[in-house]
A and B are shown apart, each in its own frame.
Chain A
Amino acid sequence: MKRIYIIAVVMVAVAIAILVNAAKDTSTYATFSDAARSGDKVKIAGQLAKDKEMYYDPEKNPNYFTFYLTDTKGEQRKVVLLREKPQDFEMSEQIVLTGRMKGEEFIATEMLMKCPSKYKNEEIYIKSEKGDI
């Protein structure tokens, strides 16, 4: 057998091994109860609970922002984001958090928001200066 084929076979084997191994780098979107049970770092998808309190006071701490998130199972928990409050946070449709539960709070280190593309909303801007006709 040619050397190249041997090498190719070895590489395929290594690739499979890596991809199998990499499976543990992945996780499903967890819920708060999953996160509380496992205590591991997880990703949680959910929506901002708009009726609950949000707290961000950069004068006290620019890296501390809390809000409430409703996960896919409908459970609401307080989330502590150890970052600045992102712009247009209130407009988010969906939030994906990375972090772990600590007591009753979810400590998030990473956050991804999906916003309705704010420049593409399907409404017609009426020129305000023209008034009504």
Chain B
Amino acid sequence: MDNIQYLNENLWPGRIGHAGILLAFVAALLGAFSYYFAVQRASQEEEARHWLRMGRGAFLAHALGVLAVIGAIFYAMIAQRYEYQYVWAHVSDDLPLRYIFSAFWEGQEGSFLLWMFWHVVLGGLLMASAKKWEAPVLAVLLAVEFCIASMTLGVYVGNLRIGSNPTLLLRDVMDAPIFANADYLQLIKGNGLNPLLQNYWMTIHPPTLFLGFASTVIPFAFAVAGLWTRDYAGWIRPALPWALFSGMILGTGILMGGAWAYEALSFGGYWAWDPVENMSLVPWLTLVAGIHTHLVAKNTGHSLRSTFIFYMLTFVLILYSTFMTRSGVLGDTSAHAFTEMGLGWQLTAFVLMFLVLPAILLAGRYRYIPAPAKEEALASKEFWMFIGSLVLLFSAVLITSSTSLPVINKILQFFNPAYVGRVITEPISHYNKYQLWIGVFIGLFSGGAQWLRWREGNWAANRRKYVLHTGLAVVAAAALSWLTTLWINAYAWQYWLLLFSGWFTLIVNLDYIIGFLRGNLKLGGSTMAHIGFGMMLIGILASGLNKRFISVNTFVMDGLIEGADSERIKNNVLLFKGVTLPMAGYEVTYVSDTIENLTRTYTVNYKRRDATGKVVEDFNLHPNIIYNKDFTKIAASNPDTRQYLHKDIFTHISSLPQVEMDVEFRKQREDSLRYKAVRLPMGQTVTLLDTVPIRNRDTFVVRTYSLTLDEITRNPTHPDYKPQQGDLALGAAIHVKRDDDDSTFTARPVVISRGQLVYYFPEQINELSTRVRLHPDIFDEVFTPEEELTYRDFTFKIGQTISFEGLQVRFDGFNPKAEHPSLQKKEGDLVVSARMHITSPNGQSYQAEPVFFIRDNTPYNLKTEVEDLGLHLRFVSIDPETETAQLRLARKERRVTGAPVEVATQSLRSDYIVLEAIEFPGINLFWLGSTLMMLGLGLSMAHRIGQVSKHQEA
């Protein structure tokens, strides 16, 4: 196979990309070393400057390498160069260009490249702005880049694989017979992007999240730099805007993930305590804890040590999160981890390296980190902020411990192979149960600390003011919590406490921003973030605790299963097309559906009336489903949501008639239909009653079907019928009308007799979910059986007319090029037909050509019928000498009076959907609150950037 000259391959993107990877890898190492020596040799100014210049050059080379490989892969993806494995795996011809980004970071390699890309951007900014911190910070950053770049190397050392190279050719990765063909590219097409990821959130969520991931390296690098250069407090000021930036972006990335889950996935919610979600939340929690101690350190000098710890922990947790989602360790506990690639050992090494090395550094220098001798005052801001940070850490520890259960199982199994791994039985309630208290404490502390002062030395002077503001907030929060419970349920005192704590921090901070900051938003970043946090807590209680399935169906399960868990069983309802179902105050109707490409979009109408019956609310929702490429299975079901200020109504298709979901099943199902037989006399209308039980109500709908036979055709067509020689085919046109529908539909079923078998070609009227087919007895109605015919023999001379049963039958001569629908000519056949001309008593004339043929010395004849006259003609022998033809004639007049028809109503209904609808009250409080948190972080960042530059000028 090695000698094959493959056609039409473009190898350049691969070469450029691979060169880019190698360059990025080597330059990162070189840069890290250069910057390292720039720090170590700082005392020798001249040498240090050389090292610094070399570090910068290496960084730029690294950046070039990263951009080259990203550019090469993008080019190959846009050009659909399927010779590349990565392109083949993530792109397909029908993938819209707008999803090319999603396709790029669908795979592990692409997301590593995205991560590196952001490090390059952030590193560039640091290079331009970090001044004396440039060398140590970039040394750390490039060391991290070196590790990530190794993930895309794809080289083997012995049996050990290092990284996975995204620029490999498909034929190098896979061994398939198709590659024996030099022109194999003509034959392959791409795999394409998972339909669930074909969503605009997937274009912006991953880059935002990865920018968040990437940005956590900066506080980490500053912290390491501080320890390394023994300038333990100097990094505090320049690192603060970066930490705030990181908190904002990482938080936004996580929220976008929630928004994607809410909009595109069908589990109904924005947070499910999935391991992947947890492991992105945990570093954010420690980062936010770090930001708080960072502020304490900046203002008071306290908590500096913990700031080091928090930022180091944050970055290790980011790496640990990467390990969890990419090593395959989560296995079946997570719905959306990456597919495993055998890079687990490398990721483990990565995590351990950045855990152990900084820990050693920290341990060695810990006692040199300055800390004020005097303890924080109990009534000081710094004390409670520190306690709040501890609470966040506490939350992080709990979540990490529970989420790490699969890792703990693996470790225990390593030492004891007989150990049986444990899993959390009910993850959601497990996490909620404990994290509830984190919310309560954070709410109380963030509110309670707001009116405290830094370095409180004179509590007596502040006490009056503090008690007044905080006390009033307690009263107001209690009152507002009570008012809130009129709208949503708090269910238990713990939830009531959470509600109170949310209101409390909201009010205190609102009061603070108005009363103390006088509305000066520039300084109000933290206040705004805390208002957002309080609002978010209320939003979670409203939308999460009070989320309500409105697709409720209480009667369905009664008696079916005793004592079955009540919640789960009644979340779905069945909606027949056009049949309105009352549901939680709404009248819900499945109106229609349309198919475009692979997407089938449903229109579901919701109506609400007031007491007088007037429609006060009327809207349509459009959930859809996406079929797979072969149109045989459903690949994704996308919800649709009606959004109000105070609530959302979330709707998705949880199931469809199986005939719509599965083509195989449709075929099986057709055989088991229950048809009703009915005889339709020609031209007359026959009515048929059909009883449709309506589920969950003890009522039935009786429907009347009117059927009219319009005509019977002898050579019918049907979309599924491919005529073959020898077929006996009959078709009919039948008008069908249902009393509750104004339109009349025409069904054209066909029935075929082929050999000994009967084939049905029924006609489906989807609008009426009715199937009509012809009963094979129609053959007896239309065709006269041979045994009922009495033939008489006649000998014709050419031109001779013989009178038969009132008909004038004339023989016009032989036709040696005879054709007959039932005749399949073979070589050696001798075929001839007799051209017959028939005149009926009322003067009408007809043509007929019965066929006679000799095959293998045996004579055969094929019958011809003049249907209008009921005349049957057989050409049985020929006498060449006298040029006479011997024919057998029979006549039996037959009037087709009707047709036996079979009708199957509703047994194969394809006109319903199984719908799940959920009401999320107050979900906008969650979105608004969480957005305010991020805005607050952003505002603080802007404010601190200003401070940094002012400081540098000074």
Whether A18 pairs with B420 at a CB distance below 8 angstroms is: no
Judged by a CB distance under 8 angstroms, whether B488 is at the interface is: no
Q: Let me know if B181 is at the binding interface, CB within 8 A.
A: yes
Judge whether A67 is part of the interface by a CB distance below 8 angstroms: no
Total residue contacts A-B, CB cutoff 8 A: 165
Residues B332 and A114 in contact, CB atoms below 8 Å apart: yes
Query: Of the candidates A62, A98, A109, which one forms a contact with B655 in the assembled complex, judged by CB atoms under 8 Å apart?
Result: A62
Q: How far is the CB of B467 from chain A (nearest CB, A)?
A: 21
Query: Could you say which interface size class chain A belongs to?
Result: 35 or more
Instruction: Tell me which residues from 309 to 361 in chain B have a Cβ below 8 Å from any Cβ of chain A.
Output: 331-333, 335, 339
Which B4-22 residues sit within 8 Å CB-CB of chain A?
A: none
Closest CB in chain B relative to A71 CB, distance in Å: 13
The answer to whether B216 has its CB under 8 Å from any CB of chain A is no
Q: Which of B540-588 contact A (CB under 8 A)?
A: 553, 556-557, 560-565, 567-574
Interchain CB contact under 8 A, A85 and B378 = no
Q: A25-B426, A124-B176 are in contact. Are A11 and B421 (CB under 8 A)?
A: no
B187, A133: Cβ atoms closer than 8 Å: yes
Is A2 part of the contact surface with B, judged by Cβ < 8 Å?
yes
**What is the number of residues of chain B that contact chain A, defined by CB distance less than 8 Å?**
74
B682 within 8 A of A: no
Assembled-state Cα–Cα distance A110/B423 (Å): 14
- Expressed in whole angstroms, the minimum distance between the Cβ of B406 and any Cβ of chain A is 11
**A33 on interface, CB distance cutoff 8 Å:** no
List A contacts of B556 (CB < 8 A). Answer: 61-63
Q: Which residues of B contact A22 (CB under 8 A)?
A: 398, 401-402, 430, 434
Q: Is the interface of A mostly helix, strand, loop or mixed?
A: mixed
Asked whether A119 lies within 8 Å of B194 as measured between CB atoms, the reply is: yes
Query: Which residues of chain A (7-30) have a CB below 8 Å from chain B?
Result: 7-8, 11, 14-15, 18-19, 22, 25-29
B376, A25: Cβ atoms under 8 Å?
no
Q: How far is the CA of A118 from the CA of B634 in the complex (A)?
A: 12
* B560 near A64: Cβ-Cβ < 8 Å: yes
A5 to B8, CA, bound (A): 70
Chain A residues near B335: list those with CB within 8 A.
Answer: 112
User: B645: CB under 8 A from chain A?
Assistant: no
- For the complex formed, measure the closest distance between the CB of B105 and the CB atoms of chain A, giving whole angstroms: 15
Chain B nearest CB, measured from A24 CB (Å): 9
B560 / chain A contacts, CB cutoff of 8 Å: 61, 64
Minimum C-beta distance from A129 to chain B (A): 10
A42 contacts B425, C-beta separation under 8 Å: yes
Q: Is the CB of B423 within 8 A of A27?
A: yes
A7, A14, A43, A87: residue with the most chain B Cβ atoms closer than 10 Å? A87
Closest partner residue, chain B, to A25 (CB atom): B430
Which of B386-394, B512-520, B530-538 has 4 or more CB atoms under 8 Å from chain A? B386-394
**Measured CA separation A119–B106 after assembly (Å):** 12
Residues of B with C-beta under 8 A to A98: 425-426
Q: Given the known inter-chain contacts A3-B375, A43-B425, A124-B174, please indicate yes or no for A84 contacting B387, CB distance below 8 A.
A: no
List B contacts of A110 (CB < 8 A): 568
Partner of A19, one of B332, B401, B562, B654: B401
Q: Does A41 contact B (CB under 8 A)?
A: yes
- Asked whether A58 and B425 contact (CB < 8 A) given A82-B564, A82-B565, A87-B637, the answer is no
Q: Does B161 contact A (CB under 8 A)?
A: no
| Chain A residue at minimum C-beta to C-beta distance from B423 | A43
Within 8 Å CB of B603, what residues of A? Answer: none
Q: Does A38 belong to the interface (CB within 8 Å)?
A: no
- Chain A residues contacting B553 (CB-CB under 8 Å) are 62-63
Answer whether A84 and B420 are a contact pair too, CB < 8 Å, given A112-B335, A125-B188. no
Chain B neighbourhood of A107, CB < 8 A: 561, 564-565
367-422 of chain B: CB within 8 A of chain A: 375-376, 378, 383, 386-387, 390, 394, 397-398, 401-402, 405, 420-422
Report if A124-B178 is in contact (Cβ < 8 Å); known contacts: A63-B571, A133-B186.
Answer: yes
Q: Does A109 contact B568, Cβ atoms closer than 8 Å?
A: yes
A14 to B391, CA, bound (A): 11
What mask results when residues 102 to 122 of chain A are scored 1 for a CB within 8 Å of chain B, else 0?
100001011010100111101
- A76 close to chain B: CB less than 8 A: no
A130–B420 CB distance below 8 A: no
Query: Chain A nearest CB: distance from B626 CB in Å?
Result: 11
Contacting residues, chain B, for A15 (C-beta < 8 A): 394, 397-398
- Contact (Cβ within 8 A) A26 B424: yes
Smallest beta-carbon distance A131→chain B, Å: 10
A28 and B420: CB pair below 8 A?
Answer: yes
Choice from B187, B188, B557, B655 contacting A85 with Cβ under 8 Å: B655
Cβ of A127: which chain B residues have Cβ within 8 Å of it? 186-189
Decide if A96 is an interface residue (CB 8 Å cutoff).
Answer: yes
Nearest opposing residue in chain B for A57, CB measure:
B658
Residue in B178, B191, B572 whose CB lies within 8 Å of A62? B572
B422: chain A residues at CB < 8 Å are 26-28
Establish whether residues A62 and B565, one from each chain, have CB atoms under 8 Å apart when the complex forms.
no
Q: Which residues of A contact B565 (CB under 8 A)?
A: 82, 107, 109
**B455 interface contact, C-beta 8 A:** no
**In the bound complex, do residue B378 and residue A3 qualify as a contact, i.e. CB atoms below 8 Å apart?**
yes
Partner of B912, one of A42, A59, A114, A126: A59
A53 adjacent to chain B (CB < 8 Å): no
> For B935, what are the chain A residues with a Cβ–Cβ distance below 8 Å?
none
* Bound complex: CA A91 to CA B189 (Å): 23
Q: B170: nearest residue on chain A (CB-CB)? A: A124
Q: How far is the CB of B918 from chain A (nearest CB, A)?
A: 14
**Assembly CA distance A31 to B32 (angstroms):** 53
In the complex, A28→B880 CA distance in Å? 93
CB atoms of B174 and A87 under 8 A apart: no
| Cα distance A34–B562 in the bound complex, in angstroms | 22
CA distance A114 to B335 in the complex (A): 8
Q: A29 to chain B: which residues have CB within 8 Å?
A: 420-421, 423
CB distance from A19 to the nearest CB of B (A): 6
A18 B398 Cβ-Cβ under 8 A:
yes
Q: A59–B574 contact, CB under 8 A? A: yes
CA distance A108 to B31 in the complex (A): 56
B390 touches A83 (CB 8 A): no
Give B179's nearest chain A residue, CB to CB.
A124
> Bound state CA distance, A4 and B388, in angstroms?
12
A120 CA to B194 CA, complexed, in Å: 9
CA distance A63 to B556 in the complex (A): 9
Is B657 a contact of A58 with CB atoms below 8 Å?
yes
Instruction: Using known A-B contacts A19-B401, A124-B174, determine if residue A119 contacts B192 with beta carbons closer than 8 Å.
Output: yes
Nearest-CB distance from A124 to chain B (Å)? 5
Bound complex: CA A85 to CA B657 (Å): 11
Contacts of A43 in B (CB 8 A): 423, 425
Q: Which residues of B contact A63 (CB under 8 A)?
A: 553, 556-557, 568-572
Judged by a CB distance under 8 angstroms, whether B89 is at the interface is yes
Whole-angstrom distance between the Cβ of B727 and the nearest chain A Cβ: 28
Which residues from chain B contact A126 at a C-beta distance below 8 Å? 178, 187-188
Of chain A, the residue at the smallest CB distance from B302 is A4
Contacts A87-B637, A107-B561; A82 near B174 (Cβ below 8 A): no
How far is B192's CA from A124's CA once the two chains are assembled, in angstroms? Answer: 12
Can you list 18 A-B pairs with a CB-CB distance of less than 8 A?
Answer: A3-B376, A3-B378, A7-B390, A8-B390, A22-B398, A58-B657, A59-B909, A60-B695, A61-B556, A64-B561, A82-B564, A84-B572, A84-B654, A84-B914, A87-B635, A119-B193, A127-B188, A133-B187
List of 4 A-B pairs having minimum Cβ-Cβ separation, nearest first: A84-B655, A62-B914, A62-B572, A26-B422
Give 16 new A-B contacts, CB below 8 A, not counting A63-B572, A87-B637: A4-B386, A14-B394, A26-B423, A43-B425, A58-B657, A61-B695, A62-B573, A63-B568, A82-B568, A107-B561, A109-B567, A114-B331, A120-B339, A125-B190, A127-B186, A133-B186
